[in-house]
Structure 1
């Protein structure tokens, strides 16, 4: 199958059809979830950003499995309302966590670790509704600097604009 190329003059050659994508040297695992119905938004976000985050980062497996980055995304009711102004369908999740790992084997070692199954999974019942949805893939960094200590490459930078 031949890639159909639109007639387009690229401003940034690193984004052109002939350029290599800027895939980052890690796998990104994103978990999407909502709060439990009986838990307030304030309690949900506080627990997620404190207890759950601490349990994750404090685990021995977190260091041993070369987790390169752990990011939380918090969607509040106020921002959900603002997003409605876009007129686009919304993802109704209240939170998302992203873990960046060097390889699938590192991820499997982490999620099968005794700490993960004995401590982190059971903590989820305090604030997180089921099911939890997941996306797994690679980042193609378009704009911004590299992620420290992961060995990634920068995308288009402010200087390029």
Structure 2
């Protein structure tokens, strides 16, 4: 089934049906996970933001495999409760992390590296429940600055 274009007067030509998307020059892998049942929320978040982060970035394979960015997104219980109180449908994970790479080969090199197998995988067993859910794809910048090598999104809002 093809998308039927609706009659719409675009404020921003760069968002029109005929415009090209503004995909950024990195592949983003997003990993969603929960804490182990016997680990407290405090310990889960603290271990992940300290020990696991250090093990990841200190790995010689991290730099050698051309990884561009590593971001952690923490969703503590009090924030989950606020989302539920607003009547929103919560994506019920304790956290997610993003790794940005230039190419699939960069990610495959890192994920199959000896350091990953020897250190990072086993460390997950201390605090993360398995399986981990993954999304992968490209950011389409609509508003704001681009990644290095990419094109900025809309930078000025029309009133």
The TM-score bracket by the shorter chain reads: over 0.9
The answer for the alignment partner of 2:150 in structure 1 is 152
The separation in 1 between residues aligned to 2:89 and 2:46, in whole angstroms, is 27
The answer for the alignment partner of 1:5 in structure 2 is 5
The separation in 1 between residues aligned to 2:6 and 2:86, in whole angstroms, is 28
The separation in 1 between residues aligned to 2:85 and 2:149, in whole angstroms, is 38
Alignment root-mean-square deviation, CA: 1.3
The total of aligned residue pairs comes to 158
- Where do 5+ consecutive residues of structure 2 fail to align? none
The separation in 1 between residues aligned to 2:8 and 2:85, in whole angstroms, is 31
The separation in 1 between residues aligned to 2:58 and 2:8, in whole angstroms, is 49
The separation in 2 between residues aligned to 1:83 and 1:154, in whole angstroms, is 31
TM-score (ref. length: structure 2) = 0.94
After TM superposition, give the deviation of residue 2 of structure 1 in Å.
4.8
After TM superposition, give the deviation of residue 143 of structure 1 in Å.
1.4
The answer for the alignment partner of 2:41 in structure 1 is 41
1:49-70 per-residue CA deviation (whole Å, 9 max, x = no partner) reads 1111111111111111110111
The separation in 2 between residues aligned to 1:48 and 1:142, in whole angstroms, is 31
The separation in 1 between residues aligned to 2:39 and 2:134, in whole angstroms, is 22
Bigger strand share: 2
- Where do 5+ consecutive residues of structure 1 fail to align? none
